[in-house]
Amino acid sequence: MPLTSGTKLGPYEITGAIGAGGMGEVYRARDTRLGRDVAIKILPQHLASTPEVRQRFEREARAVSSLNHPHICTLHDVGHQDGTDFLVMEYLEGETLAKRLERGPLATPELLRIAIEIADALEKAHRQGVIHRDLKPGNIMLTKAGAKLLDFGLAKSSVAPTVVDLSGSPTMSQKIAESPAPLTARGTIVGTFQYMSPEQLEGKETDARSDVFSFGAVLYEMATAKRAFEGKTTASVIAAILKDQPAPVTTLQPLAPPALEQVVKTCLAKDPEERRQTIHDVLLDLKWIAESGSHAGVPAPVVAHRKNRERVAWGAAAFLLIVASVATIGYVLRAPKPTSVIISEISPPEGIHFLFGGTSGAPVLSPDGQALVFVGEDSQGRSQLWIRRLGSDTALALAGTDGARFPFWSADSRHLAYFGKGELMRIAISGGPPISVAAVPAGVGGAWGYDGTIIGTPTPVSGLIGVSASGGMPFKVTKLNQLRQEINHVDPQFLPDGRHFLFYARSAIGEGSGTYAASLDGGEPKLIVHGDSAARYADPGYLLFVQDGTLMARHFDSASLSVSGDATPLAEHVGVDMVRGTGLFTISNNGVLAYEPGSTTGGQARILWFDRSGKQIAETGTPGVFDNASISPSGNKLAVGLTDPGTRKPDIWIFDVARGVKTRLTLSPSISVDPVWSPDGKEIAFLSNRAEGRLSLFKMNSDGTGDATPLIADDAAERDPSWSVDGRYLLFSRKESGPGSHSEIWAVPLTGERKPFVVLRGQFNLHQESISPDGKWLAYVSDESGRPEVYVAPFLRGGGKSLVSASGGNYPLWRRDGKELFYRSFDQKIISVAIVESGADLTIGKVQPLFQANPAAGGIGAMYDVAADGKKFVIPSQGPEQVAVPLKLVVNWPALLKKQ
């Protein structure tokens, strides 16, 4: 009978179940003496009477107690109470390797790190005379402290061999409750057969080399996310293990190091004599691959198995050493001169154009310099990721990446990450579907480190967050500095040590922007250089940045985090994304450079008007860097956030729609964004960081008279201002500054005491609210389903909510008569939803996509507005520079420095 919460086993109080298997049940418990959480494994009473089961349970206790290793789960205690035998073990937070592999193969650096940790743990066990015999992904736990080897329930002493006959029976966990035979009984397979060695299946004597075989099967699965031996039945799997060879790792993962393929192959040899003889040999191989990088070749021969083979191996090694020495000497004598600079162009595919900066991000070279990824858009406004191998004249679209933005590479050049549909996604370039990593509402760039950590900017007005590439809970990496009036942290890039990274801090103060260095281990960021655009690290020890349209290079020591010497020009007329302050160039680790030529206005937009079919019907003003646009109640004016190209500081401007002329509304040295008109057109609410450097809610007269009035004065972050149609309330989303807080919807009365109050709150993020014209309904966005969706609920009255969007959506807006609701989908479509109101009830009618939008750089607001009659839409859209221009490609750019 399972234990319930509150049950006590000695000083241990059960708090919940963790899992169960053939050999026991595992519970989470609290050690009341030491005040720590532990894991308790119990032997069920209906099995305790079986001698072989009890023998195995005791064997696990003895095996684990003899091992003390950082990557082996620690045994704290052994106990017996009321007929229940139990083990008290270290409680581990994380996920099993088996669970992780459900999301796809591991990147090479992560694979090697985990494999080295497990091999080291196995070596410790083998040196203590303990053989695991049930090594599999399900018995490996991935934690923040590294991998942990679990479940020595089948372990045996290497000095007391066990003989098992035959190979067709179930595993021990399947037979345990029905057979009184001892553990070494005839006809019983001990272990999980998918990972068992041939000698185990054939009932032969087993030793440490059986663990080597199982380790090879696990290694294969880590690299490919597929089992080395598969079949439709138990018999077919066993037959595959006995006689088949798995498909080569490099067939399934072409970019896997050749040396890894060789290690897996030798571990999986059918004959134990042909296998790596010790896990120590395997450990050395893996460390060598890790030190040699992703292009490591086949490792040198290891010590052979028998004396005659040993002589042959050493003789061959000596011969190869002589040959290698001669070849090395010859290479040195005829070492090639440095290659000259090669400058060429890369054009987009026919019918496609590059998207530079803005909401899409610039093209990015892979770290190994072999490929280029970019967001390509067709004539219909549809965009997706494309990959162009530099050795090929064609580009290939990556299926399933529609609407992808801001792509970036993994450190080993085998995977891509990008933002799309409210999530951070990753995809293997060798094939396979995109995989969600984390919910990120409006990410604007990132970096992927060697240890599998991804850092990025989750919204256009935030610091950096971090998350494991395998998924998990995001965590804060950097915090905006209010004294410097920082707007955001963008363009992160890992430095060679894998812990430190660069990022660009954009400030509302003219001289406050600059490139900083920080560490994943914490600490105050260090200013590296001031500048109007981000600086990026490039081998061999330089920072590259754009200054007045010229790409510059300056010496940089990544160890001391310091610059030296003067900057040297590399190329003229290099584009800059004015919204994020990042140069439109990309560099690889081997001297390849690519950049957008001829533009310093990256990120500019046009204020375009569309009808319901998506046909452009008008344009207001001239191109610029725009934030949200809001139509006045009369329809003849437009309030927008517009960034000054000199100071790069956004302010609120008012356009006369008919004449296209504009008047500046806000004059503060702080930023002002996301304007929204009051129902009578006399006031405008907006966000500004003029109060202690953080974005807060203000309002001022729309004719420019008087000063801005603060509406909220607290330490929380306010967003999404929205007026009620009667003008009585100003709604906004509010998020506390503490960890684990969620966005809530609040309102501030505009008469009386003006005391803010909560409208909606919960365990999820609630924001982007919009009140219906009759004041009865509130449309808003919640991520309670795991992604942002649009809902409608009664406003300030009881009642349930209704789901509006079908597959994700944000920024709902009402038509003036309340009979239609609009929102923006994740793939940038404007969606129409019919609303039918009957008394106190509201019915969601037909949901219909209207047209594909092309909103400009990630502004803070909705980035669209709809006219009162629902027939016209205004959208600050991608600028005129997004045309089918080619990229400049420079091979061996460091040689340009020698020409100066």
Query: Strands, E, within 410-499: which ranges?
Result: 415-420, 423-428, 435-439, 446-448, 453-456, 465-468, 475-476, 486-494
3-state secondary structure 702-728: CCCCCCCEECCCCCCEEEEEEECCCCC
DSSP structure string for 807-831: S--EEEEE-TTSSEEEEE-TTSEEE
Burial class (CB in 10 A: 0-12, 13-18, 19+), 862: buried
Are the C-beta atoms of residues 139 and 150 closer than 8 Å to each other?
A: yes
d(CA 2, CA 24): 10
**Which residues, 6+ apart, have CB-to-CB distance to 449 below 8 Å?**
411, 455, 494, 498, 501, 520
Q: How many CB atoms sit inside 10 A of residue 85's CB?
A: 21
How is residue 467 written in tokens? 């998350």
- With H, G, I as helix, E, B as strand and everything else as coil, classify residue 139: helix
Degrees (nearest 5) of the Cα angle 678, 684, 686? Answer: 120
Q: Which residue has the tokens 């256009």?
A: 460
Q: Which residue has the tokens 């994304």?
A: 577
Considering only CA atoms, which of 252, 192, 217, 221 is closest in space to residue 97?
221
Are the C-beta atoms of residues 14 and 5 closer than 8 Å to each other?
A: yes
Considering only CA atoms, which of 354, 428, 407, 372 is closest in space to residue 592?
372
Q: Which residue has the tokens 């801005």?
A: 708
Considering only CA atoms, which of 874, 868, 814 is closest in space to residue 657?
874
Are the C-beta atoms of residues 68 and 49 closer than 8 Å to each other?
A: no
Evaluate the CA torsion angle 175, 177, 180, 184 in order and state its sign.
positive
d(CA 299, CA 315): 16
Considering only CA atoms, which of 252, 249, 264 is closest in space to residue 432?
252
d(CA 406, CA 359): 8
d(CA 507, CA 520): 22
Query: Strands, E, within 508-580: which ranges?
Result: 514-519, 526-530, 536-538, 542-547, 550-557, 562-571, 576-577
Are the C-beta atoms of residues 715 and 696 closer than 8 Å to each other?
A: no
At 725, the amino acid letter reads: V
Burial class (CB in 10 A: 0-12, 13-18, 19+), 298: middle
Cα distances from 31 to residues 2, 10, 325, 845, in angstroms, run 19, 9, 61, 56
Q: Return the biggest CA–CA distance within the chain.
A: 97
The answer to whether the peptide bond before residue 540 is cis (omega within 30 degrees of 0) is yes
Q: Active-site positions?
A: 134
Considering only CA atoms, which of 586, 582, 619, 622 is closest in space to residue 604?
622
Q: Which residue has the tokens 């060879």?
A: 245
d(CA 681, CA 668): 22
- With H, G, I as helix, E, B as strand and everything else as coil, classify residue 282: helix
Q: Which residue has the tokens 């998990």?
A: 472
Are the C-beta atoms of residues 554 and 531 closer than 8 Å to each other?
A: no
3-state secondary structure 882-894: CCCCCEEEEECHH
Q: How many CB atoms sit inside 10 A of residue 726's CB?
A: 12
